[in-house]
Structure 1
Amino acid sequence: MLTRSFFAPLLVLLLLSVSNANSVQDTGCSLKSSTQKIVFVLDNYGARGDGKHDDTQALARAWNAACSSSRPAVLLVPKGKTYLLKAITLSGPCKSNIVFKVKGSLIAPSSMSAWSENDRRRWIFLQRVTGLTVNGGGTINGNGEMWWKNSCKTNKVLPCKEAPTALSFHLCNSLKVDNLKIVNSQQMHVSVQDCSNVHLARLTITAPGTSPNTDGIHITHSKYVQVRDCLIRTGDDCVSIENGTHNLHVTRVVCGPGHGISIGSLGDHESRAEVSRIYIDTVRLYGTTNGARIKTWQGGSGYAKDIVFQNMIMDNVQNPIIIDQNYCDSAKPCTKNQKSAVEVRNVVFKNIRGTTISRDAINLSCSKDLPCSGIALENIDLNLEGGKGGTESTCQNARWKKFGNVVPLPCKGKK
């Protein structure tokens, strides 16, 4: 039988090896065993981390080193420091998986002149990377106040121009983004485009409620995406779901202020849009403009189908349930009375309750030429904020069915 004295030295050696491994990761030494990740510390590539000097090229060098590693790599942004970054593109493919661990802060320049007129849409842009993880509990700060002041939605006399998205992912597969704070983006905070197998979790996304076009999470042309356990407070959609999105699950999200959870807008400029298998579950909305929303332009084509909004609590929401096939953005001209439309079908609104500041709590405004079909309303209880009277509903060209108790009565009893 092996005695306790046999195990004691072995335990000491094991503890020492774990301690040494942790200390190596903290210092950024790249000498690792074959089973450990190689750590590339941003400071070792010329970054100052004082929030004043430009650390863009240092991050580019650190990324290139990590991306070239034949072993799994960690690109570490140290805690307690702030790194000033201009627009940067971090590209793959990489030789192995990368963890981009942001423990400190990444901050954008305050001046709009740091961006060229030719490319104002991006700040931190990651593309063509497989097996990427971005985490660490740090902060990504878009420093967007100057952009908001110069937006055409804030100042109507200014021309409408693009503004940067804080954190963009393009053509990334097996992507994980977890435990980050993304604040004050110039425009959208997180964009996922042309990606597959994506997990976004434990993100805190904040900007003033008056900041224009600052969507929290924007998803387009992507499939098999999961969003969970996020707190989103912005001036636009908390989650915007655009063309080409399929198999999206959003769960345990708190939203507000902002414009709510929106599918669309779809079909602008007479384009074709395809969105399907969208599941929005367990969401709480505070003081948002909209709750569960689908919006499409006249003149578009394609479909938005097989959509579920369920287990939602509305608190002081202006438009809790809305389908709008006649959507129009005030910043763009609208062509009225077109016969084509994006088809909206098989949509479930289930277990939705709370309060609204609008008497019209359910609004189904659908196309005369292509009515919404397969709309199910089940166990809905929406009341005016402060008990100021009963709520109502409005329907145009919507084919719906009612299940369980629904307040307000759908469409005043008309189908």
Structure 2
Amino acid sequence: MMEMCSFKSLALAILIALFVWSSSFETLCSGREMKVRYTPDSMYNSYQPYESVMTTASFNVLNFGAKGDGQTDDTKAFGEAWEAACKVEASIMVVPNGVFLVGPITFGPDCQPNIVFQLDGKIIAPTSSNAWGSGLLQWLEFKNLKGITVKGAGIIDGQGSVWWNDLAKYLPTDASMSYEDSKMPSTKPTVLRFYGSEGVTVTGITIQNSPQTHLKFDTCKTVQVSSFTTSSPGDSPNTDGIHVQNSQDVLIYSSNLACGDDCVSIQAGCSNIYIHDVKCGPGHGISIGGLGKDGSKACVSNITVRNVAMQNTLTGVRIKTWQGGSGSVQQVMFSNIQVSDVKTPIMIDQFYCDKGKCQNKSSAVSISDINYVNIQGTYTQTPVYFACSDSLPCTGVSLTTIALKPSEGYQQPFCWEAYGELKTSTEPPISCLKTGAPSKSNVPYSRDSC
């Protein structure tokens, strides 16, 4: 009888633990409560990792005709290996040591769950325009999968030099390929894209020399990226390190990102994004946006970026929105950011424009509850830049323990229609931040709130 009571007590304890684990949590950010759907611990454990699933079959691309000599087109072999792995739950598709030339390919959809793509060798992209037709948005794509893992110590090389604008700068001096021979479509592909997938893990691999974005997640849930490396020159155009859009519950950590654009780009439709222990540079920093382009609605919330080191980047932590958009950015925490020779370490720009001239518009993506804690280091132009909308000012901007010193020259912090609080003294003093909140009569009601 006592054994049955002990069993019941144990079962009850397990049920209580599961209930507590699945409940929402709250975290305290700079003196204010911020609702958080996922804490870091719950995000780590929200999806069953591949190690806990017994693998049933392994499919090596060499067994499907791949040569791995860097010259033979192995696309067909990769497709056949994936087709076989796709039918078996928790299978492994193996890319062993070697250099595999692979053209544009999609893995999925409608496969069994928990497939592992084991990358030990090197995959290279074609440099002939014939392989790309009139242009493609992605090169390697994993689509509509559940429990997909890409792991290993291998390399994916986009051979992006043939796509970048100033080709002569990147071609070796003994290259036999002329500019005209290598002319590529104007549409540049993302190297590795995950679309419509849940339970995605990317760990250990390196993506280098991307034609455009290195790694993209679009309409995904429960994503983990760790021990991941990107490597492209700082002047390679539009080569974002990691691009996230319309995705939720994303964890990025312990990674080194060097690229020619944003190290991490967080776009519309994202929530519960947690980034920590990342090195960024060269690049443009970690950015939310640009949001609201062409009058679109953008909703972004619950973003945490902490323990990040940035060196020689255009910006540090940035929020950028276009005039004329709608929606909101809210509940954002940037903490423990170390910057070294960063042009502008802290930036909010609601007048973002990446072309020659943009029209002034009154509507805007609202920005509120933005927290900066312990941001230190050196800058080369402006320490803090807050350019907020005239019609919809930034509100709830708080700064704590800011210590930024010029490594060359000096400019004062800039603020326009930014409201918030200095929780500690700052270096340099940020006296331009307006205290409190704007008058309600001056702030239009937004019918497009998220």
Length-normalised TM-score, structure 1: 0.86
**Residue 294 of structure 2 aligns to which amino acid in structure 1?**
H
Tell me the equivalent position of 1:3: none
Tell me the equivalent position of 1:21: none
Tell me the equivalent position of 1:77: 95
Question: Are the counterparts in 2 of residues 112 and 147 from structure 1 also a CA contact under 8 Å?
Answer: no
Query: Structure 2: how far apart are the matches of 1:349 and 1:200?
Result: 24
Query: Structure 1: how far apart are the matches of 2:325 and 2:369?
Result: 19
Tell me the equivalent position of 2:81: 62
Answering whether residue 368 of structure 2 is matched by residue 350 of structure 1, we say no
User: What are the Cα deviations for residues 306-357 of structure 1, in whole angstroms up to 9, with x where unaligned?
Assistant: 0111100000000100000000012xx6432201000010000110000001
**Residue 40 of structure 1 aligns to which amino acid in structure 2?**
F
Tell me the equivalent position of 1:87: 104
Answering whether residue 406 of structure 2 is matched by residue 384 of structure 1, we say yes
Query: Structure 2: how far apart are the matches of 1:160 and 1:261?
Result: 29
Secondary structure of 2:163's counterpart equals helix
Question: Are the counterparts in 2 of residues 362 and 408 from structure 1 also a CA contact under 8 Å?
Answer: no
Query: Structure 1: how far apart are the matches of 2:106 and 2:416?
Result: 46
Task: Give matches, 1:178-327, under 5 Å.
Answer: 178-327=203-352
More moved, 295-304 vs 400-409:
400-409
**Residue 46 of structure 1 aligns to which amino acid in structure 2?**
G
**Residue 405 of structure 1 aligns to which amino acid in structure 2?**
S
Secondary structure of 2:265's counterpart equals strand
Query: Structure 2: how far apart are the matches of 1:354 and 1:204?
Result: 24
Secondary structure of 2:205's counterpart equals strand
User: What are the Cα deviations for residues 8-40 of structure 1, in whole angstroms up to 9, with x where unaligned?
Assistant: xxxxxxxxxxxxxxxxxxxxxxxxxx9543110
Query: Structure 2: how far apart are the matches of 1:35 and 1:144?
Result: 38
Give the Å deviation of 1:164.
0.3
Tell me the equivalent position of 2:173: none
Tell me the equivalent position of 1:129: 145
Query: Structure 2: how far apart are the matches of 1:45 and 1:57?
Result: 8
Give the Å deviation of 1:85.
0.7
Query: Structure 1: how far apart are the matches of 2:55 and 2:305?
Result: 38
Give the Å deviation of 1:159.
12
Query: Structure 2: how far apart are the matches of 1:78 and 1:92?
Result: 24
Answering whether residue 130 of structure 2 is matched by residue 108 of structure 1, we say no
Query: Structure 1: how far apart are the matches of 2:406 and 2:70?
Result: 47
Give the direction of change, closer, same or farther, for the CA distance of 1:413–1:266 in structure 2 (3 Å limit). Answer: closer
Give the Å deviation of 1:116.
1.6
Question: Are the counterparts in 2 of residues 394 and 411 from structure 1 also a CA contact under 8 Å?
Answer: no
Could you tell me which of 393, 397, 409 is aligned with 2:413? 393
Question: Are the counterparts in 1 of residues 99 and 122 from structure 2 also a CA contact under 8 Å?
Answer: yes
Tell me the equivalent position of 2:443: none
Query: Structure 1: how far apart are the matches of 2:433 and 2:220?
Result: 43
Query: Structure 1: how far apart are the matches of 2:163 and 2:185?
Result: 11
User: What are the Cα deviations for residues 155-203 of structure 1, in whole angstroms up to 9, with x where unaligned?
Assistant: xxx9994210000000110110000011001100000000000001000
Question: Are the counterparts in 1 of residues 420 and 434 from structure 2 also a CA contact under 8 Å?
Answer: no
More moved, 96-105 vs 34-43:
34-43
Give the direction of change, closer, same or farther, for the CA distance of 1:150–1:93 in structure 2 (3 Å limit). Answer: farther
**Residue 388 of structure 2 aligns to which amino acid in structure 1?**
C
Tell me the equivalent position of 1:364: 386
Question: Are the counterparts in 2 of residues 272 and 302 from structure 1 also a CA contact under 8 Å?
Answer: yes
CA-atom RMSD in angstroms = 2.0
Give the Å deviation of 1:150.
6.5
- Tell me the number of residue pairs that the alignment of Structure 1 and Structure 2 aligns: 370
Answering whether residue 182 of structure 2 is matched by residue 163 of structure 1, we say no
Secondary structure of 1:404's counterpart equals coil
Question: Are the counterparts in 2 of residues 391 and 407 from structure 1 also a CA contact under 8 Å?
Answer: no
- Give unpaired runs (5+ residues) of structure 1: 1-33
Tell me the equivalent position of 2:114: 97
User: What are the Cα deviations for residues 57-96 of structure 1, in whole angstroms up to 9, with x where unaligned?
Assistant: 1100000100011x420100002x0000111111122123
User: What are the Cα deviations for residues 182-229 of structure 1, in whole angstroms up to 9, with x where unaligned?
Assistant: 100110000000000000100010100110000000000000000000
- Give the structure with the higher percent strand: 1
Secondary structure of 2:188's counterpart equals coil
Tell me the equivalent position of 1:48: 67
Query: Structure 1: how far apart are the matches of 2:72 and 2:233?
Result: 27
Question: Are the counterparts in 2 of residues 267 and 296 from structure 1 also a CA contact under 8 Å?
Answer: yes
Query: Structure 2: how far apart are the matches of 1:96 and 1:328?
Result: 42
Give the Å deviation of 1:233.
0.6
Question: Are the counterparts in 1 of residues 148 and 199 from structure 2 also a CA contact under 8 Å?
Answer: yes
**Residue 60 of structure 2 aligns to which amino acid in structure 1?**
V
User: What are the Cα deviations for residues 81-123 of structure 1, in whole angstroms up to 9, with x where unaligned?
Assistant: 0000111111122123211000000000122332021x42110
Could you tell me which of 24, 27, 37 is aligned with 2:56? 37
Secondary structure of 1:64's counterpart equals helix
Question: Are the counterparts in 1 of residues 388 and 418 from structure 2 also a CA contact under 8 Å?
Answer: yes
Query: Structure 2: how far apart are the matches of 1:199 and 1:59?
Result: 24
